[in-house]
Structure 1
Amino acid sequence: MKKRVLALGAMIAVAAVSCSRNDANELQPVGANEVEIVNVLSQNNVAQEDTLFFKAKAGQGSTFVWSVDGKDAVGSDSTFKFISSDLGEHTITVAATKYGVKSSSKATVSVYGKYKYGTFILNEGNMTTENGSLTFISPSGVVTDSAYLKANGTELGNVTQDLYINRNKIYIISQNGKKNAVGSSFNNDGLLVVANAETLKKEAAFNDELATLSWPTHVAVLDEENVILRDNNGLYKFNTTSKVLTFIKGSKSAAKMTMAVSNNKIFAAAGTKVYVVEPNKDTITYALDMKATVSGVLRASDGNIWVSTTGSPAKISKINFRDYSLIKANEVSAGSVSAGFGATPGITAKGDTLYFSGAGTKIYRHIFSVGTTEFMVDAKTMVENANIVYNNIAVHPVTGEVYLNTIKAYGMDFLKNNTSVFNFRDKAALSANYKNHTRFPAGIFFTYAFN
């Protein structure tokens, strides 16, 4: 009798355990062993070396394994930080395990070059002792000094002056190339450097091919066969494929100033004229006479051309890019549209709004549609050591903020400098101020401004 009771008890115990296990599985909600990836920042695109955050949603008690492109990644938490220097698409996978049951989920992200979006400050450098350099400010305000050097391990040429971005390539011209101002040989990549615009990895460098140039200062690009260079003699067309340099007849006296590109044409200031250069031609197409000294030539947002002229009165004009006729000209009632001693235009524009400072610290705004001009701010009142403006202001084509480069003084005081960012939406406000990053800045260049 006792044995029967014991046997019956054992059967009841086994049945109870089995029931308990079945109940655990039956009580598990539908989909409890499934996993979902949550993109915390809701971004599918990210710059090299920047971070995206992902979180796995699964049943309580699940364990996780993350992988990128099929390779297991470090970490088994429910959260994962994705960082990559490899361009292109990447697949992020998380595998979750619970009660021995596995499930997985995937997300796709794209990595673009660190320098694809943002702001470049091109630095001449101290012409007798150092090469040019490139400073980069990311959209989030992170500054990378000597960006080209960090990407390549080599430096830009001596006294870098201008850059242009075309078809994911960045073209950077220097005045002296491998020789400094006193004729000493410098170790650098030379006169014209071509690099990947997203990564700054060098693709080509040209020196001997451009030996006939006399102090080149500016570059504008239509395509690889029509790289337009400006030097003391005028304009040249350089074919980077055949490596042939051709002087453009009629372009003598082209000014030391940034050229504008619109609708596959180059527009270059030249005294009182604006030269027009078309692809595959070795003679200027047109010379538009503005009847006053041209201080700036810019592409307008509608494809037409802004031209500023000094004199009495100073004017800002809009020129039709097709037939070069005058659309409208406004007199400037305050401030100066002079380009100063530098190599950048005396005006900068976002839409119908233009800014100028006459290469000084006092910034003015001109609304072209209504013809009004108003004083905005004197940078000296808001920025320490803003004594000398080094090349002209530039307006961000997306945010509308105005960037200004200043130095304290010449000598070693050039090391005390500012890149100041002003917001004029309500009243003059200093959005950001980046201290001591420039070395005689040749210009401010926004990646968004190039096609």
Structure 2
Amino acid sequence: MKNRLLWKTLFVAATLAAAACSNDGEDAVTKFEVNTGAEAGAPVFVVPGRETTLSFTGEHITTVTTESLPEGWEAEVRQTEGVIALHATDDAQTSATLRITAAGSGANKVVCEVALRCLNSFDDPAGTFVLNEGNMTTENGSLTYISPEGYVFDDAYRTVNGSELGNVAQDMAFCDGKIYVISQNGNRNANGAEFENDGMLVVMDARTLRRTASFSNEELAGLDWPTHIAVLDERHIYIRDNAGVHRLDGETGTLTFVEGSEDAPKSRFVTMNGKVYTYLSGYISKIYEISPESDAVNSIRLPLTGIECDINEVLGIQAADDGRMWIMTFGFGKTAMNKFDLSTQDIVQRQINIKPTAGASGVAFAAHDNLVYYADGTTIYRLPFDESAELDAASGLDAVELLTDVSGLDPNAGQLYNGLGVHPATGHLYINSIKSYAQFTQNQIWEFDPAGDFLSPLAKYENYTNFPAGFFFPEAR
């Protein structure tokens, strides 16, 4: 297991670690050390357009020089100050190596190499985001990014922009090279206290995380505690709140209520086939289909299944890889996973062993290919969804796999908090856990390889989240 605590933020002092240096002189009379400000094994992170400095110390040094860096990078040695100033541009190569030579008398010299990384690219399809609500009475939302290499960039949005997301960040969506983040309270918390942040809806560049637009509480005054967002284009931004679903025209700022969307649940939208989907849960459950041609829902009634797990409650929906829709349902005391064809109305159902808790984000399960993951407390299960099984078996129960209990792997993993996500590019399972509501600063992000041992996580990242709203993954390029 890789237990990684690699980087908090450029504005927080990290434990200083010396760069890797070698003495090339026959007489080792020159002492030289570069303090990178990064934790052991991590590169030095540089925000484009912002100066980052490395300090150095030494004895019997006559000159300190650096070799040329790739285009977009610049290093300036200020020898009298004992620092090396680093600069990078927006289009700099993401990774680089700084080679530093400290020369002494005669042939004595020390050569150091420092790994550099420019924080100008967050759109790698193998990356992972964790959106954090923040404490609703005391702090703003934040965005954590885990790079494909496993580096954790805590509060990445603030690091790039110098400002923060809204209070109680709830959901985010990707569309056309942009990221949209909706927060419940914006710049005013539930108690009415004013917060300094970028507002209720923040739009940023998906590659750089630089803010491109924002909407304040006043501009979105028609919303009542928004929770979820889906985007088809700039003129079709769909936001769910206590009343239902609204369409925001991002060009004009106009909010229009989507007729028939009352009682849309506090659950993530599904975006597929150029349309947005949510649902109505109840004795007559329906899928709500919203297309850009109309500000009204098209209701698709879920059929009776003909087996024991009849549908009278929908627990969550997700797009399936084959163009159909995953639907988790509950009825007559039993829970089922369903694959639903929106065009033909055909449904395939498999019973599972528990009724999972969806959490505040409305995510009751996560699926990739035909593997469905869900949780009971801190215990994680997987259902290999087999469509060839006999329907009259009311089935799936024999196929359910108990994977792990994260509280058994770490006693500080006391409960899941908006817990599961599956990476669409890697198939890796991600889990958010906290010690408790009162001890939320003790928390874990777990990463498991579905082909591996679920008693040995691929990685565990500790104490990065602040009431996580869930996992989000960049769009495929």
The answer as to 2:424 corresponding to 1:424 is no
Aligned to 1:164: 173
C-alpha separation in 1, matches of 2:173 and 2:92: 24
State the 1:357 CA deviation: 0.7
State the 1:380 CA deviation: 1.0
Q: 1:353 aligns with which of 357, 360, 371?
A: 371
- Kept in 2, the 8 Å contact 1:383–1:420? The answer is no
Matches within 5 A, 1:49-448: 68=70, 84-87=88-91, 113-117=120-124, 118-207=127-216, 208-271=218-281, 272-289=285-302, 291-311=311-331, 312-321=333-342, 323=343, 325-332=345-352, 334-339=353-358, 341-358=359-376, 360-369=377-386, 371=396, 372-411=399-438, 413-428=439-454, 429-448=456-475
State the 1:301 CA deviation: 1.2
State the 1:212 CA deviation: 1.0
Is the helix fraction higher in 1 or 2? Answer: 1
The superposition leaves residues 118-156 of structure 1 with CA deviations (integer Å, 9 ceiling, x where unpaired) of 111111111111111111111111011111111111110
State the 1:288 CA deviation: 2.8
- Kept in 1, the 8 Å contact 2:167–2:186? The answer is yes
Letter in 2 for 1:282: D
Letter in 1 for 2:460: N
C-alpha separation in 1, matches of 2:69 and 2:192: 55
Letter in 2 for 1:367: P
Aligned to 2:55: none
C-alpha separation in 1, matches of 2:267 and 2:91: 35
State the 1:383 CA deviation: 2.2
Letter in 1 for 2:435: K
SS of corresponding position for 1:430: coil
SS of corresponding position for 1:252: coil
State the 1:405 CA deviation: 0.8
Tell me the number of residue pairs that the alignment of Structure 1 and Structure 2 aligns. 361
Q: TM-score, normalised by structure 1?
A: 0.74
The superposition leaves residues 303-336 of structure 1 with CA deviations (integer Å, 9 ceiling, x where unpaired) of 2211111233211111224x2612412122x233
SS of corresponding position for 2:222: coil
The superposition leaves residues 82-103 of structure 1 with CA deviations (integer Å, 9 ceiling, x where unpaired) of 995432789x9xxxxxxxxxxx
Higher relative contact order (Cα pairs below 8 Å, separated by 6+ residues): 2
- Kept in 2, the 8 Å contact 1:361–1:380? The answer is yes
State the 1:73 CA deviation: 8.3
C-alpha separation in 2, matches of 1:129 and 1:405: 21
State the 1:416 CA deviation: 0.7
Gap regions ≥5 residues in structure 2: 1-44, 48-66, 78-85, 97-117, 304-310, 388-395
C-alpha separation in 2, matches of 1:300 and 1:389: 24
Aligned to 2:100: none
SS of corresponding position for 1:176: strand
Gap regions ≥5 residues in structure 1: 1-47, 51-64, 76-81, 93-110
Cα distance change, pair 426–134 in 1 and its aligned pair in 2 (3 A): closer
C-alpha separation in 2, matches of 1:182 and 1:126: 12
State the 1:347 CA deviation: 1.3
SS of corresponding position for 1:437: coil
State the 1:69 CA deviation: 5.1
SS of corresponding position for 2:188: coil
The superposition leaves residues 18-62 of structure 1 with CA deviations (integer Å, 9 ceiling, x where unpaired) of xxxxxxxxxxxxxxxxxxxxxxxxxxxxxx969xxxxxxxxxxxx
Cα distance change, pair 113–301 in 1 and its aligned pair in 2 (3 A): farther
Letter in 2 for 1:436: N
C-alpha separation in 2, matches of 1:83 and 1:234: 47
State the 1:249 CA deviation: 0.5
State the 1:355 CA deviation: 0.6
State the 1:352 CA deviation: 1.0
C-alpha separation in 2, matches of 1:434 and 1:236: 36
C-alpha separation in 1, matches of 2:371 and 2:226: 31
- Kept in 2, the 8 Å contact 1:152–1:201? The answer is yes
Q: TM-score, normalised by structure 2?
A: 0.70
C-alpha separation in 1, matches of 2:145 and 2:93: 24
Letter in 2 for 1:224: E
State the 1:114 CA deviation: 2.2
- Kept in 1, the 8 Å contact 2:229–2:239? The answer is yes
- Kept in 1, the 8 Å contact 2:72–2:91? The answer is no
C-alpha separation in 1, matches of 2:444 and 2:421: 14
C-alpha separation in 2, matches of 1:112 and 1:146: 12
C-alpha separation in 2, matches of 1:67 and 1:127: 44
- Kept in 2, the 8 Å contact 1:352–1:368? The answer is yes
- CA-atom RMSD in angstroms: 2.8
Cα distance change, pair 239–280 in 1 and its aligned pair in 2 (3 A): farther
